Structure 1
Amino acid sequence: MNKILLLLLFFFCSSVGAQDSLAVAKKEKIIFIEKDIAIDTSAIDAKSFPKNFKKKYTDTPFIYEFKTPEKNAWDRFKEWLANLFKNLFSFSDNKTSMHFVEILLKTIAILIVIAVIYMIVKAIMNKEGQWIFGKNSDKKIINYDEIEKNIHLVDFEKLIHNSLQSGEKRLTIRYYYLWLLKKMSSKQIIVWDVEKTNTDYLYEIKNQTQKDDFAYLSYLYNYIWYGEFELDDATFAKAKNAFEKSIKTINNG
Protein backbone atom coordinates (compact mmCIF):
# COMPACT_ATOMS: atom_id res chain seq x y z
CA MET A 1 0.00 0.00 0.00
CA ASN A 2 2.81 2.37 0.86
CA LYS A 3 4.49 1.57 -2.47
CA ILE A 4 1.40 2.50 -4.42
CA LEU A 5 1.16 5.85 -2.60
CA LEU A 6 4.80 6.62 -3.35
CA LEU A 7 4.31 5.92 -7.09
CA LEU A 8 1.29 8.17 -7.31
CA LEU A 9 3.17 10.94 -5.53
CA PHE A 10 6.08 10.56 -7.98
CA PHE A 11 3.93 10.86 -11.10
CA PHE A 12 2.15 13.89 -9.66
CA CYS A 13 5.39 15.74 -9.00
CA SER A 14 6.76 14.92 -12.47
CA SER A 15 3.63 16.24 -14.17
CA VAL A 16 3.77 19.52 -12.21
CA GLY A 17 7.45 20.01 -13.08
CA ALA A 18 6.88 19.45 -16.81
CA GLN A 19 4.09 21.98 -16.93
CA ASP A 20 6.26 24.58 -15.17
CA SER A 21 9.11 24.03 -17.67
CA LEU A 22 6.76 24.44 -20.64
CA ALA A 23 5.37 27.67 -19.19
CA VAL A 24 8.86 29.06 -18.74
CA ALA A 25 9.83 28.14 -22.34
CA LYS A 26 6.79 29.98 -23.70
CA LYS A 27 7.75 33.16 -21.87
CA GLU A 28 11.32 33.06 -23.18
CA LYS A 29 12.09 34.11 -26.81
CA ILE A 30 14.70 32.09 -28.76
CA ILE A 31 16.93 34.38 -30.84
CA PHE A 32 19.18 33.08 -33.72
CA ILE A 33 22.12 35.07 -35.14
CA GLU A 34 23.82 34.76 -38.60
CA LYS A 35 26.61 32.57 -37.37
CA ASP A 36 24.08 30.05 -36.14
CA ILE A 37 22.78 29.54 -39.79
CA ALA A 38 24.64 27.01 -41.97
CA ILE A 39 25.07 28.19 -45.58
CA ASP A 40 25.43 25.60 -48.42
CA THR A 41 28.22 26.82 -50.74
CA SER A 42 28.46 23.69 -52.98
CA ALA A 43 28.32 24.23 -56.79
CA ILE A 44 25.00 23.63 -58.55
CA ASP A 45 24.91 22.22 -62.08
CA ALA A 46 22.53 24.16 -64.28
CA LYS A 47 20.14 21.93 -66.24
CA SER A 48 19.08 22.78 -69.78
CA PHE A 49 17.08 21.08 -72.55
CA PRO A 50 18.38 20.75 -76.14
CA LYS A 51 16.67 22.87 -78.76
CA ASN A 52 15.35 19.83 -80.65
CA PHE A 53 14.14 17.92 -77.59
CA LYS A 54 10.60 17.82 -79.00
CA LYS A 55 11.72 15.48 -81.78
CA LYS A 56 12.51 12.80 -79.20
CA TYR A 57 8.93 12.74 -78.03
CA THR A 58 7.08 12.13 -81.29
CA ASP A 59 6.29 8.44 -80.69
CA THR A 60 2.71 7.27 -80.23
CA PRO A 61 2.83 7.22 -76.37
CA PHE A 62 3.61 10.98 -76.38
CA ILE A 63 0.81 11.94 -78.80
CA TYR A 64 -2.27 13.08 -76.91
CA GLU A 65 -4.18 14.62 -79.82
CA PHE A 66 -4.69 12.38 -82.86
CA LYS A 67 -5.47 14.03 -86.18
CA THR A 68 -7.59 12.26 -88.78
CA PRO A 69 -5.32 11.34 -91.74
CA GLU A 70 -6.00 13.14 -94.98
CA LYS A 71 -7.85 11.12 -97.62
CA ASN A 72 -5.98 10.29 -100.81
CA ALA A 73 -7.44 9.70 -104.28
CA TRP A 74 -7.92 5.98 -103.63
CA ASP A 75 -9.89 6.64 -100.44
CA ARG A 76 -12.08 9.17 -102.23
CA PHE A 77 -12.67 6.70 -105.05
CA LYS A 78 -13.78 4.02 -102.57
CA GLU A 79 -16.10 6.48 -100.86
CA TRP A 80 -17.60 7.38 -104.22
CA LEU A 81 -18.20 3.71 -104.98
CA ALA A 82 -19.65 3.17 -101.52
CA ASN A 83 -22.13 6.00 -102.02
CA LEU A 84 -23.00 4.67 -105.47
CA PHE A 85 -23.70 1.14 -104.21
CA LYS A 86 -25.50 2.50 -101.20
CA ASN A 87 -27.99 4.22 -103.49
CA LEU A 88 -28.22 1.23 -105.85
CA PHE A 89 -28.70 -1.49 -103.24
CA SER A 90 -30.20 0.58 -100.42
CA PHE A 91 -27.59 -0.27 -97.82
CA SER A 92 -28.51 0.67 -94.27
CA ASP A 93 -25.43 2.82 -93.61
CA ASN A 94 -22.10 3.98 -95.05
CA LYS A 95 -20.13 1.36 -93.12
CA THR A 96 -22.03 -1.51 -94.76
CA SER A 97 -21.62 -0.09 -98.26
CA MET A 98 -17.88 0.53 -97.68
CA HIS A 99 -17.46 -3.07 -96.50
CA PHE A 100 -19.14 -4.26 -99.68
CA VAL A 101 -16.84 -2.10 -101.82
CA GLU A 102 -13.71 -3.48 -100.11
CA ILE A 103 -14.84 -7.07 -100.72
CA LEU A 104 -15.68 -6.25 -104.33
CA LEU A 105 -12.28 -4.65 -105.00
CA LYS A 106 -10.41 -7.57 -103.43
CA THR A 107 -12.41 -10.01 -105.56
CA ILE A 108 -11.61 -8.07 -108.74
CA ALA A 109 -7.89 -8.00 -107.83
CA ILE A 110 -7.86 -11.77 -107.29
CA LEU A 111 -9.61 -12.36 -110.62
CA ILE A 112 -7.07 -10.18 -112.43
CA VAL A 113 -4.15 -12.11 -110.90
CA ILE A 114 -5.77 -15.43 -111.87
CA ALA A 115 -6.35 -14.18 -115.43
CA VAL A 116 -2.72 -13.08 -115.79
CA ILE A 117 -1.43 -16.42 -114.48
CA TYR A 118 -3.77 -18.24 -116.87
CA MET A 119 -2.51 -16.28 -119.89
CA ILE A 120 1.12 -16.90 -118.92
CA VAL A 121 0.54 -20.64 -118.51
CA LYS A 122 -1.40 -20.76 -121.78
CA ALA A 123 1.41 -18.98 -123.61
CA ILE A 124 3.95 -21.43 -122.21
CA MET A 125 1.81 -24.46 -123.05
CA ASN A 126 1.35 -23.16 -126.61
CA LYS A 127 5.09 -22.54 -126.82
CA GLU A 128 4.59 -18.84 -127.43
CA GLY A 129 6.55 -17.63 -124.46
CA GLN A 130 9.38 -16.13 -126.45
CA TRP A 131 9.96 -13.40 -123.85
CA ILE A 132 10.48 -16.10 -121.22
CA PHE A 133 12.64 -18.62 -123.03
CA GLY A 134 14.79 -16.48 -125.28
CA LYS A 135 15.03 -15.56 -128.92
CA ASN A 136 12.59 -16.64 -131.60
CA SER A 137 14.92 -19.17 -133.22
CA ASP A 138 15.21 -21.16 -129.99
CA LYS A 139 11.42 -21.33 -129.70
CA LYS A 140 11.09 -22.69 -133.24
CA ILE A 141 13.73 -25.33 -132.63
CA ILE A 142 11.74 -26.56 -129.67
CA ASN A 143 8.45 -26.53 -131.61
CA TYR A 144 9.67 -28.34 -134.70
CA ASP A 145 12.22 -30.75 -133.34
CA GLU A 146 10.10 -33.73 -134.41
CA ILE A 147 9.98 -32.44 -137.98
CA GLU A 148 13.76 -32.39 -138.15
CA LYS A 149 13.97 -35.95 -136.87
CA ASN A 150 11.54 -37.26 -139.52
CA ILE A 151 12.20 -35.16 -142.61
CA HIS A 152 11.47 -38.09 -144.97
CA LEU A 153 7.87 -38.24 -143.71
CA VAL A 154 7.17 -34.51 -143.87
CA ASP A 155 5.32 -32.64 -146.64
CA PHE A 156 7.51 -29.55 -146.79
CA GLU A 157 5.56 -27.94 -149.63
CA LYS A 158 2.48 -27.83 -147.40
CA LEU A 159 4.45 -26.53 -144.40
CA ILE A 160 6.06 -23.81 -146.53
CA HIS A 161 2.67 -22.78 -147.90
CA ASN A 162 1.25 -22.48 -144.35
CA SER A 163 4.25 -20.55 -143.01
CA LEU A 164 4.07 -18.12 -145.94
CA GLN A 165 0.37 -17.56 -145.25
CA SER A 166 1.12 -16.73 -141.60
CA GLY A 167 4.05 -14.46 -142.55
CA GLU A 168 6.71 -16.52 -140.72
CA LYS A 169 9.69 -15.82 -142.96
CA ARG A 170 12.38 -17.35 -140.79
CA LEU A 171 10.40 -20.54 -140.35
CA THR A 172 9.86 -20.73 -144.12
CA ILE A 173 13.63 -20.63 -144.73
CA ARG A 174 14.10 -23.38 -142.14
CA TYR A 175 11.58 -25.55 -143.98
CA TYR A 176 13.40 -24.88 -147.27
CA TYR A 177 16.69 -25.95 -145.67
CA LEU A 178 15.25 -29.20 -144.29
CA TRP A 179 13.53 -29.85 -147.62
CA LEU A 180 16.90 -29.43 -149.35
CA LEU A 181 18.50 -31.97 -147.00
CA LYS A 182 15.63 -34.38 -147.69
CA LYS A 183 16.16 -34.08 -151.46
CA MET A 184 19.93 -34.47 -151.18
CA SER A 185 19.48 -37.56 -148.99
CA SER A 186 16.97 -39.13 -151.37
CA LYS A 187 19.45 -38.61 -154.26
CA GLN A 188 22.23 -40.12 -152.10
CA ILE A 189 24.26 -36.92 -152.26
CA ILE A 190 24.51 -37.00 -148.46
CA VAL A 191 23.69 -39.50 -145.70
CA TRP A 192 21.04 -37.90 -143.48
CA ASP A 193 21.63 -37.89 -139.73
CA VAL A 194 19.96 -35.51 -137.30
CA GLU A 195 23.22 -35.21 -135.34
CA LYS A 196 25.29 -34.03 -138.30
CA THR A 197 26.24 -30.42 -138.96
CA ASN A 198 26.38 -28.41 -142.17
CA THR A 199 30.11 -28.99 -142.29
CA ASP A 200 29.62 -32.76 -142.05
CA TYR A 201 27.27 -32.70 -145.04
CA LEU A 202 29.62 -30.42 -146.95
CA TYR A 203 32.43 -33.01 -146.71
CA GLU A 204 30.10 -35.72 -148.07
CA ILE A 205 29.20 -33.86 -151.26
CA LYS A 206 31.40 -35.01 -154.16
CA ASN A 207 30.25 -32.64 -156.91
CA GLN A 208 32.04 -29.32 -156.56
CA THR A 209 29.14 -27.30 -157.99
CA GLN A 210 26.73 -28.89 -155.55
CA LYS A 211 29.22 -28.35 -152.74
CA ASP A 212 29.54 -24.66 -153.52
CA ASP A 213 25.78 -24.34 -153.84
CA PHE A 214 25.19 -26.08 -150.49
CA ALA A 215 27.84 -23.92 -148.77
CA TYR A 216 26.07 -20.76 -149.97
CA LEU A 217 22.61 -22.02 -148.93
CA SER A 218 23.98 -23.09 -145.51
CA TYR A 219 25.34 -19.56 -145.07
CA LEU A 220 21.92 -18.07 -145.93
CA TYR A 221 20.16 -20.45 -143.57
CA ASN A 222 22.47 -19.71 -140.62
CA TYR A 223 22.34 -15.98 -141.30
CA ILE A 224 18.52 -15.87 -141.42
CA TRP A 225 17.54 -18.51 -138.87
CA TYR A 226 20.03 -17.65 -136.14
CA GLY A 227 20.49 -13.96 -136.94
CA GLU A 228 18.93 -11.51 -134.48
CA PHE A 229 17.65 -8.94 -136.93
CA GLU A 230 14.49 -8.07 -138.82
CA LEU A 231 14.33 -10.11 -142.04
CA ASP A 232 13.45 -7.75 -144.90
CA ASP A 233 11.52 -8.78 -147.99
CA ALA A 234 14.49 -8.48 -150.34
CA THR A 235 16.74 -10.82 -148.32
CA PHE A 236 13.89 -13.30 -147.85
CA ALA A 237 13.06 -13.35 -151.57
CA LYS A 238 16.73 -13.85 -152.46
CA ALA A 239 17.09 -16.82 -150.09
CA LYS A 240 13.74 -18.34 -151.14
CA ASN A 241 14.66 -18.24 -154.84
CA ALA A 242 18.10 -19.74 -154.15
CA PHE A 243 16.64 -22.70 -152.21
CA GLU A 244 13.92 -23.33 -154.82
CA LYS A 245 16.49 -23.27 -157.62
CA SER A 246 18.78 -25.74 -155.87
CA ILE A 247 15.92 -28.12 -154.96
CA LYS A 248 14.67 -28.03 -158.57
CA THR A 249 18.18 -28.79 -159.88
CA ILE A 250 18.51 -31.81 -157.54
CA ASN A 251 15.09 -33.14 -158.62
CA ASN A 252 16.06 -32.91 -162.28
CA GLY A 253 19.50 -34.41 -161.70
Structure 2
Amino acid sequence: MQFKRGIKMVLQYGSGLLIFCSIVISLSAEPARDSLYEVRSPGNIFIEKFRSEPAFDYTEVVEENAWRARFIRWLSALLGGASAETTADILGFLFKIIAVGCVFFALYLMIKTGIIAPWGQRKKKFKRESVDTLVLSDSDRYRKLLGEALKMRDYKSAVRIHYLNVLYLLNEKELIHWDIYKTNASYIREIPSEKREAFRNLSYVFDCVCYGNFEIDEEVYRKTRHYFLDFEKEVGA
Protein backbone atom coordinates (compact mmCIF):
# COMPACT_ATOMS: atom_id res chain seq x y z
CA MET A 1 0.00 0.00 0.00
CA GLN A 2 2.76 2.38 0.85
CA PHE A 3 4.41 1.62 -2.48
CA LYS A 4 1.26 2.54 -4.43
CA ARG A 5 0.84 5.69 -2.36
CA GLY A 6 4.40 6.77 -3.22
CA ILE A 7 3.87 6.24 -6.90
CA LYS A 8 0.67 8.28 -6.78
CA MET A 9 2.45 11.21 -5.07
CA VAL A 10 5.26 11.12 -7.61
CA LEU A 11 2.78 11.27 -10.47
CA GLN A 12 0.92 14.19 -8.89
CA TYR A 13 4.02 16.26 -8.17
CA GLY A 14 5.62 15.31 -11.53
CA SER A 15 2.60 16.43 -13.56
CA GLY A 16 2.50 19.72 -11.68
CA LEU A 17 6.21 20.30 -12.29
CA LEU A 18 5.77 19.52 -15.99
CA ILE A 19 2.94 22.04 -16.31
CA PHE A 20 5.01 24.71 -14.53
CA CYS A 21 8.02 24.17 -16.82
CA SER A 22 5.90 24.37 -19.97
CA ILE A 23 4.41 27.68 -18.81
CA VAL A 24 7.86 29.14 -18.10
CA ILE A 25 9.21 28.04 -21.49
CA SER A 26 6.23 29.51 -23.38
CA LEU A 27 6.57 32.85 -21.59
CA SER A 28 10.28 33.07 -22.30
CA ALA A 29 9.78 32.27 -26.02
CA GLU A 30 7.02 34.87 -26.55
CA PRO A 31 8.35 38.45 -27.34
CA ALA A 32 7.31 41.32 -25.21
CA ARG A 33 4.20 42.76 -26.78
CA ASP A 34 4.10 46.00 -24.83
CA SER A 35 7.71 47.23 -25.58
CA LEU A 36 8.06 50.53 -27.57
CA TYR A 37 10.52 51.13 -30.46
CA GLU A 38 11.24 54.07 -32.88
CA VAL A 39 11.57 53.71 -36.64
CA ARG A 40 14.65 55.66 -37.80
CA SER A 41 15.43 56.68 -41.41
CA PRO A 42 18.26 58.81 -42.91
CA GLY A 43 17.41 62.46 -43.57
CA ASN A 44 17.33 64.14 -46.97
CA ILE A 45 20.59 66.00 -46.34
CA PHE A 46 22.30 62.72 -45.51
CA ILE A 47 20.97 61.08 -48.68
CA GLU A 48 21.88 64.02 -50.95
CA LYS A 49 25.39 64.07 -49.50
CA PHE A 50 26.00 60.50 -50.61
CA ARG A 51 24.29 61.05 -53.96
CA SER A 52 26.79 63.81 -54.73
CA GLU A 53 29.71 61.45 -54.17
CA PRO A 54 30.97 59.91 -57.46
CA ALA A 55 31.53 56.58 -55.70
CA PHE A 56 27.80 56.35 -54.92
CA ASP A 57 26.60 57.59 -58.33
CA TYR A 58 24.89 54.65 -59.98
CA THR A 59 23.45 56.61 -62.90
CA GLU A 60 23.70 54.58 -66.09
CA VAL A 61 25.88 56.38 -68.64
CA VAL A 62 25.31 55.72 -72.33
CA GLU A 63 28.63 55.24 -74.12
CA GLU A 64 29.31 57.95 -76.72
CA ASN A 65 30.56 57.34 -80.20
CA ALA A 66 34.10 56.06 -79.97
CA TRP A 67 35.60 58.58 -82.40
CA ARG A 68 33.89 61.52 -80.71
CA ALA A 69 35.01 60.38 -77.25
CA ARG A 70 38.59 59.95 -78.45
CA PHE A 71 38.55 63.37 -80.10
CA ILE A 72 37.22 65.04 -76.94
CA ARG A 73 39.91 63.31 -74.84
CA TRP A 74 42.58 64.46 -77.29
CA LEU A 75 41.27 68.03 -77.27
CA SER A 76 41.00 67.95 -73.48
CA ALA A 77 44.67 66.98 -73.22
CA LEU A 78 45.55 69.71 -75.70
CA LEU A 79 43.75 72.26 -73.53
CA GLY A 80 45.81 71.32 -70.50
CA GLY A 81 43.63 68.63 -69.00
CA ALA A 82 40.27 70.41 -69.10
CA SER A 83 37.23 68.37 -68.14
CA ALA A 84 35.23 66.52 -70.79
CA GLU A 85 32.24 68.81 -70.20
CA THR A 86 34.33 71.97 -70.69
CA THR A 87 35.97 70.52 -73.80
CA ALA A 88 32.57 69.59 -75.28
CA ASP A 89 31.27 73.13 -74.63
CA ILE A 90 34.30 74.66 -76.35
CA LEU A 91 33.92 72.28 -79.28
CA GLY A 92 30.23 73.15 -79.67
CA PHE A 93 31.05 76.87 -79.59
CA LEU A 94 33.69 76.44 -82.30
CA PHE A 95 31.23 74.55 -84.50
CA LYS A 96 28.72 77.41 -84.14
CA ILE A 97 31.36 79.97 -85.16
CA ILE A 98 32.29 77.89 -88.21
CA ALA A 99 28.62 77.54 -89.21
CA VAL A 100 28.02 81.30 -88.92
CA GLY A 101 31.22 81.98 -90.87
CA CYS A 102 30.09 79.66 -93.67
CA VAL A 103 26.75 81.50 -93.90
CA PHE A 104 28.42 84.91 -94.14
CA PHE A 105 30.94 83.63 -96.68
CA ALA A 106 28.12 82.23 -98.83
CA LEU A 107 26.31 85.59 -98.66
CA TYR A 108 29.52 87.38 -99.63
CA LEU A 109 29.96 85.15 -102.67
CA MET A 110 26.35 85.67 -103.73
CA ILE A 111 26.70 89.45 -103.45
CA LYS A 112 30.06 89.47 -105.21
CA THR A 113 28.78 87.39 -108.11
CA GLY A 114 25.59 89.46 -108.35
CA ILE A 115 23.19 86.65 -107.41
CA ILE A 116 21.68 88.93 -104.77
CA ALA A 117 21.93 92.69 -104.34
CA PRO A 118 23.51 94.29 -101.25
CA TRP A 119 21.12 95.33 -98.50
CA GLY A 120 19.32 98.57 -99.23
CA GLN A 121 19.93 98.37 -102.96
CA ARG A 122 17.60 97.30 -105.70
CA LYS A 123 18.97 94.87 -108.21
CA LYS A 124 19.41 96.40 -111.64
CA LYS A 125 17.23 94.99 -114.36
CA PHE A 126 20.11 94.78 -116.78
CA LYS A 127 21.05 91.82 -118.89
CA ARG A 128 23.41 90.40 -116.31
CA GLU A 129 23.55 87.04 -118.05
CA SER A 130 24.79 88.77 -121.19
CA VAL A 131 27.38 90.70 -119.18
CA ASP A 132 28.67 87.60 -117.40
CA THR A 133 29.11 85.75 -120.69
CA LEU A 134 30.86 88.69 -122.32
CA VAL A 135 34.31 87.32 -121.59
CA LEU A 136 35.76 85.28 -124.46
CA SER A 137 33.38 87.10 -126.78
CA ASP A 138 34.23 89.79 -129.36
CA SER A 139 34.82 93.53 -129.12
CA ASP A 140 31.68 94.39 -131.10
CA ARG A 141 29.49 92.80 -128.48
CA TYR A 142 31.46 94.59 -125.78
CA ARG A 143 30.72 97.98 -127.35
CA LYS A 144 27.06 97.08 -127.84
CA LEU A 145 26.52 96.06 -124.22
CA LEU A 146 28.46 99.07 -122.96
CA GLY A 147 26.25 101.37 -125.04
CA GLU A 148 23.09 99.75 -123.64
CA ALA A 149 24.30 100.16 -120.05
CA LEU A 150 25.20 103.82 -120.55
CA LYS A 151 21.87 104.48 -122.24
CA MET A 152 20.09 103.09 -119.18
CA ARG A 153 22.45 105.07 -116.87
CA ASP A 154 23.46 101.78 -115.29
CA TYR A 155 27.01 102.87 -114.51
CA LYS A 156 27.85 99.96 -112.23
CA SER A 157 27.09 97.53 -115.03
CA ALA A 158 29.14 99.72 -117.37
CA VAL A 159 32.16 99.44 -115.06
CA ARG A 160 31.59 95.68 -114.86
CA ILE A 161 31.60 95.49 -118.67
CA HIS A 162 34.89 97.41 -118.78
CA TYR A 163 36.46 94.99 -116.32
CA LEU A 164 35.20 91.90 -118.13
CA ASN A 165 36.56 93.30 -121.37
CA VAL A 166 39.97 93.63 -119.69
CA LEU A 167 39.77 89.94 -118.74
CA TYR A 168 38.82 89.13 -122.32
CA LEU A 169 41.87 91.01 -123.63
CA LEU A 170 44.22 89.39 -121.10
CA ASN A 171 42.95 85.97 -122.10
CA GLU A 172 43.37 86.78 -125.80
CA LYS A 173 46.98 87.81 -125.11
CA GLU A 174 47.45 84.57 -123.14
CA LEU A 175 48.40 86.52 -120.03
CA ILE A 176 45.72 84.71 -118.03
CA HIS A 177 43.55 81.65 -118.50
CA TRP A 178 39.98 82.80 -118.01
CA ASP A 179 37.54 80.60 -116.13
CA ILE A 180 34.09 81.50 -114.85
CA TYR A 181 34.88 80.04 -111.40
CA LYS A 182 38.12 81.96 -110.88
CA THR A 183 38.29 84.98 -108.60
CA ASN A 184 40.02 88.30 -109.18
CA ALA A 185 42.70 87.24 -106.70
CA SER A 186 43.41 84.20 -108.87
CA TYR A 187 43.96 86.42 -111.91
CA ILE A 188 46.23 88.74 -109.90
CA ARG A 189 48.47 85.80 -109.01
CA GLU A 190 48.36 84.50 -112.57
CA ILE A 191 49.14 87.68 -114.51
CA PRO A 192 52.83 88.42 -115.32
CA SER A 193 54.67 90.45 -112.70
CA GLU A 194 55.22 93.52 -114.91
CA LYS A 195 51.46 94.06 -115.21
CA ARG A 196 50.42 92.68 -111.85
CA GLU A 197 50.43 95.92 -109.88
CA ALA A 198 48.42 97.82 -112.50
CA PHE A 199 45.86 95.01 -112.69
CA ARG A 200 45.69 94.84 -108.89
CA ASN A 201 44.82 98.55 -108.75
CA LEU A 202 42.25 98.10 -111.51
CA SER A 203 40.64 95.21 -109.61
CA TYR A 204 40.50 97.37 -106.49
CA VAL A 205 38.69 100.14 -108.39
CA PHE A 206 36.29 97.56 -109.83
CA ASP A 207 35.48 96.12 -106.38
CA CYS A 208 34.91 99.56 -104.86
CA VAL A 209 32.60 100.71 -107.66
CA CYS A 210 30.60 97.52 -108.18
CA TYR A 211 30.36 96.28 -104.59
CA GLY A 212 30.48 99.52 -102.63
CA ASN A 213 27.28 100.47 -100.83
CA PHE A 214 26.69 103.67 -102.79
CA GLU A 215 25.21 104.77 -106.09
CA ILE A 216 27.46 105.53 -109.08
CA ASP A 217 26.63 108.63 -111.10
CA GLU A 218 27.99 109.74 -114.46
CA GLU A 219 30.77 111.84 -112.93
CA VAL A 220 32.16 108.92 -110.93
CA TYR A 221 31.90 106.68 -113.98
CA ARG A 222 33.91 109.11 -116.12
CA LYS A 223 36.63 109.30 -113.48
CA THR A 224 36.73 105.51 -113.29
CA ARG A 225 36.65 104.77 -117.01
CA HIS A 226 40.10 106.16 -117.76
CA TYR A 227 41.73 103.50 -115.50
CA PHE A 228 40.33 100.79 -117.76
CA LEU A 229 41.17 102.59 -121.00
CA ASP A 230 44.77 103.15 -119.87
CA PHE A 231 45.18 99.49 -118.93
CA GLU A 232 43.69 98.33 -122.23
CA LYS A 233 46.29 100.42 -124.05
CA GLU A 234 49.03 98.92 -121.88
CA VAL A 235 47.87 95.41 -122.74
CA GLY A 236 47.86 96.33 -126.42
CA ALA A 237 44.20 96.52 -127.32
Provide the TM-score with structure 2 as the length reference.
0.45
Higher RCO (C-alpha 8 Å, min separation 6): 2
Specify the structure having the higher radius of gyration (Cα). Answer: 1
